[in-house]
Amino acid sequence: MLMNKRKLHYYHKRLHIISPWYFLVAAVISLSISVYALRQNNFKMIELRQAVTVADEQNGDVETALTNLRDYVYAHMNTNLSSGQNAIKPPIQLKGRYERLATAQQDQIKAANQAVQSQGEAICTAQFPAAGYNSPRVSCIQAYVAANAKQTASEVPAELYKFDFVSPKWSADLAGISLLFSAGFFVLFILRFITERYMIAKTK
């Protein structure tokens, strides 16, 4: 028993060089770095999201801006696009792109209907060759247009102007790695603290 106590005292003396509080301080420092990095991740996401908004408003390179935002969000923690209960869903809705797509559809419908009108006039003129817009020809044109013209535009597909990217629970960046170090140092602190109490109790 005496020999065991001597060994424990020897090990305790050697182990005493490494204070458990060193691990706690390291854990706090690592956690502080992680919090800072998480904030920086969020700030960078906001910057990239604003770049998407500007590109959309100015009809710029929206695809590149979206790709940059998507790649960053997928690779970093704390970069979720929406926040709060009243946030829009999905968080990226390109108003400029939607309006341009809707306008393009309306222009296509207008051009198509003008073509239908011209086709109707040509067909009905051949059927009713009398001079001027006589009643049978007018009725024929109206019937042809009513049967062939496109009245309303289809809804613009949401996937063309609505986007949502979800950040990972953990990422291998400064925020994620420093968070792992913080957890590891805290576990070492607990183990070292328990070992310290055990050594003291056994060497009394």
Alpha carbon distances (Å) from 135 to 117, 121, 129, 148: 16, 13, 12, 20
Predicted confidence at residue 149, as pLDDT, reads 84
pLDDT higher than 50, residue 44: yes
Chain-wide mean pLDDT for the chain? Answer: 85
Residue 92, helix vs strand vs coil: strand
Alpha carbon distances (Å) from 47 to 41, 50, 53, 71, 96: 10, 5, 10, 14, 19
Average pLDDT for 127-141: 80
Predicted confidence at residue 125, as pLDDT, reads 87
Asked if residues 190 and 21 have their Cβ atoms less than 8 Å apart, the reply is no
pLDDT higher than 90, residue 181: yes
Predicted confidence at residue 52, as pLDDT, reads 96
Predicted confidence at residue 159, as pLDDT, reads 87
**Greatest distance between any 2 Cα atoms in the chain:** 129
pLDDT grade, residue 21 (50/70/90)?
confident
Domain ranges of the chain: 17-94+161-204, 109-158
pLDDT in tens, 92-107: 999 999 999 999 988 8
pLDDT higher than 50, residue 146: yes
- Residues above pLDDT 70, as percent of the chain: 83
Q: What is the pTM of this model?
A: 0.75
Predicted confidence at residue 157, as pLDDT, reads 87
pLDDT higher than 50, residue 3: no
* Max avg pLDDT among 150-154, 164-168, 193-197: 164-168
CA atoms within 13 A on the CB side of 97: 21
pLDDT grade, residue 202 (50/70/90)?
low
